[in-house]
Amino acid sequence: MISVRPDVHLGKPCIAGTRIPVVNVLELIEAGVSFREIIEEYYPDLNEGQVKACVRYAIDVIQNEEIHFAPAEKA
């Protein structure tokens, strides 16, 4: 449900079939806006599955992220 295309929002992840960036939906959720409000007040063309797909995408990105730590400096 999430697509990344270089010709849409400079390759930022968007909800498939739309030009709505995933980050826009995630920022609304972070601000405390409910899924229902996101659909009714901001993006009426979306459904709950698409909003959930944004959350799932963020979870997948974090789970697959490689974290590299700099070597500890000797005292």
List, for residues 42-73, the tens digit of each pLDDT value. 999 999 999 999 999 999 999 998 888 888 88
* Sequence-separated (6 or more) residues with CB below 8 Å from residue 23: 12, 13
**Whether the model pTM is above 0.75:** yes
Query: Looking at the predicted structure, is the pLDDT value of residue 75 above 80?
Result: no
- The domain 2-56 is placed in CATH, from the list 1.20.120.80, 1.10.10.10, 1.10.1760.20, 1.10.3720.10, at 1.10.10.10
Domain limits, the chain: 2-56
Helices (H), the chain: 22-30, 35-37, 48-64
The pLDDT value given to residue 63: 94
The pLDDT value given to residue 73: 81
List, for residues 13-37, the tens digit of each pLDDT value. 999 999 999 999 999 999 999 999 9
